[in-house]
Amino acid sequence: MCGIAGLVDPDRPDGAELARIAGAMGRAVAHRGPDGEGIWVDAAAGVGLAHRRLAILGLGPGGAQPMVSADARWVIVYNGEVYNFAELRRHPALDGVSWRGHSDTEVILESVAHRGLAATLADLNGMFALALWDRVERRLHLVRDRLGIKPLYVAVRGRAVLFGSELGALRASGRDFAIEPAALASYLRLGYVPAPFSIHAGVEKLMPGEVLSVDAAGNVARRRYWSLDATAAAGVAAPLEVADAAAEARLHDLLLDAVRLQMVAEVPLGVFLSGGIDSSTIAALMCASGQGAVRSFSIGFPDAGFDESSHARAVAQHLGTAHTELTVTAREALAVVPGLADVFDEPFADSSQIPTFLVSQLTRGHVTVALSGDGGDELFAGYNRHLFAARWAPALARAPSSLRRALAALIRGLPAGAMETLATRAKGAPTQLANKLAKLARVLALDDDALYRALVSQAVEPSLHLAADEAAPVRLPAEAWPLLDRMRLADGQGYLPDDILTKVDRASMAVALEARPPLLDHRVVEFAWRLPSRFLVRSGTSKWLLRRVLQRYVPDALVARPKMGFAVPLAAWLRGPLREWAGDTLLASDYGGGLLRPGPARAAFEAHIAGSDRHTSELWTLLMFELWRRRHDGARIGGTSPAVVH
């Protein structure tokens, strides 16, 4: 796990200048790799590559980067882990290699040199973003892993190419970068900027499973070596028709192998444990792997409506993990807020970013690698919208629109006392239940696209705040599939890489912690897409098959509860300890930098202070943009001012 950056600029054949720029770009992502720094320059080709190292495997100098292949043709900078590198090292085509070390970096590099890039990528099992410079063809290849676990940004300007693990690396190059209004509009909708866009005009995120190649003339070629769309289509076309026990056994064995592979490390390793289905499954399989004692980590909040720590503790005690738990006060959690713009580097407004950073910080105090349960909801239908799609959407589609509107009106008219009674029976917080019911009332009369858009939107109507079309309008895939499958695919294409995995990557790497998600082993993903819906949702229970695997190790009573998410009491904070800061930010004379309209933000804030929770996510999205804009104020709309150098 590391940070990478670099540039190819054939019009800048000055070795010292290339080294200076590459060094500045690398230092901008130094937090991702505090264990070492490397720079490689080819002045004649205008190439400068930078690497920041977080040593996990091959801890000695044999694993240092940038690394040059034995035949001197290829140079690599690489961020991530390839878990099956020991197997790849034994490939017959590599029999003659005189290995200099035992890192996965060298295995990738020599495999490319002896077998080619395409054959190598087809065999890699891991999470990675890498840059390969071909010294013979003078071509740069940029590659991102299949699911988009690791990030990679790129800007092509004429014959020049800039790339980096985070936007800060590109800003540190000294180039100007403007805010892209269309990307900002999509951010307001979703709380994140969807790939391939970034908040900066002319800078894009490489797509999951994509190879982007640029030659010395600036010609760009793209290809996808793996596609979630194609994987999903193949799975839906050839569903797995087996008995329950056989499906359970196959999933168990796949997951156990994925966990074992991802436990390979030469540094201390642990697991994030929330006590939910996904993280509990990973923790259980780590304990079953036979690779020694397991350390687990969780955080909690004093507010019982948002605290999962007791559930995590119960699972840890049952499994026998060495469990570390931290109860975070509101004061400690809120102390994180001023630094979020630096941690996330691009506007990002999933409020679970706060506990994710805190649990990463806690974990890094004890280990260098942590396994996580990310991906379980998207693969195995764990979100409330998936339950809705499986249980209610077919019936609602047949119901008259007048009936749906009447039901929506009934929900909106529920008094507060009824909400508290329902929340008590559902063992949830009244505020959370009220938000879910309000969202349900909004979507009852919508078609599928509008329904999904409403369910995933942070701001109901971004055009109220910004006069720009969205860069990536939210639409479900066009396939003639059940709504559940279309939602799962849309989540896997957007929400998973651009929200969930972005959140975990930035929060963990900010403290130099490597987070690994075994559920996103591509073999598990391909298997999950072959599962008929009865293995996903059955008798009103989500993630049915994954639960069956977990039940081999953990009693259902320890994990059976309504889905909570990694939430914080944001609505209360915005009325309490964050109220003054939020008001000063949203009501300031320079609010929005001349791009966002101040009126809607003011109205939403005043409604929230008056007691409405309908605007909580919308306000947090606006606040996170303003926090980012003020921190990175070199990024001006129009792009004429100097870029910020970190």
CATH 3.40.50.620 assigned to domain 231-381+488-558? The reply is yes
Sheet arrangement for strand 295-300: 322-327, 295-300, 269-272, 369-371, 514-516
Domain with CATH 3.40.50.620 in the chain: 231-381+488-558
Residue 408 has a pLDDT of 79
pLDDT over 80 at 637, yes or no: no
CATH 3.60.20.10 assigned to domain 2-226? The reply is yes
pLDDT band of residue 305 (cuts 50, 70, 90) is low
Residue 635 has a pLDDT of 44
d(CA 579, CA 590): 18
Per residue in 311-339, pLDDT tens? 999 999 999 999 999 988 888 888 999 99
pLDDT band of residue 639 (cuts 50, 70, 90) is very low
d(CA 297, CA 393): 38
The residue with greater pLDDT, 632 or 363, is 363
Domain with CATH 3.60.20.10 in the chain: 2-226
pLDDT band of residue 308 (cuts 50, 70, 90) is confident
- Is residue 543 within 8 A of residue 519, CB to CB? The reply is no
| Sign of the CA dihedral with 397 first, then 402, 407, and 411 last | positive
Average pLDDT over residues 522-531: 98
Collapse the DSSP code of 45 into the 3-class scheme (helix H, G, I; strand E, B; otherwise coil) and give the result: coil
Per residue in 351-364, pLDDT tens? 999 999 999 999 99
pLDDT band of residue 565 (cuts 50, 70, 90) is low
Average pLDDT, the chain: 90
pLDDT band of residue 646 (cuts 50, 70, 90) is very low
Residue 417 has a pLDDT of 67
Average pLDDT over residues 136-155: 98
Q: Among residues of the chain, what percentage have pLDDT more than 90? A: 73
Per residue in 245-268, pLDDT tens? 999 999 999 999 999 999 998 899
- Nearest residue to 540 via CA among 373, 384, 395: 384
Torsion of CA 13, 17, 20, 25, to 10 degrees: -60
d(CA 562, CA 564): 6
Average pLDDT over residues 142-159: 96
Out of 20-24, 395-399, 494-498, least confident range: 395-399
pLDDT band of residue 234 (cuts 50, 70, 90) is very high
Q: Among residues of the chain, what percentage have pLDDT more than 70? A: 91
Average pLDDT over residues 483-504: 97
Name the pTM for this structure: 0.91
d(CA 623, CA 611): 19
Give the residue numbers marked as catalytic.
2
The residue with greater pLDDT, 330 or 98, is 98
Per residue in 499-520, pLDDT tens? 999 999 999 999 999 999 999 9
The residue with greater pLDDT, 427 or 132, is 132
Residue 402 has a pLDDT of 77
> Which residues on neighbouring strands pair with residue 101, listed in sequence order?
none
Residue 432 has a pLDDT of 64
> Which residues on neighbouring strands pair with residue 79, listed in sequence order?
129
Out of 260-269, 391-400, 428-437, 508-517, least confident range: 428-437
Say what angle helices 483-490 and 448-456 make with each other, to 10 degrees.
Answer: 40
pLDDT over 70 at 211, yes or no: yes
Residue 1 has a pLDDT of 62
- Is residue 86 within 8 A of residue 41, CB to CB? The reply is no
Average pLDDT over residues 159-185: 95
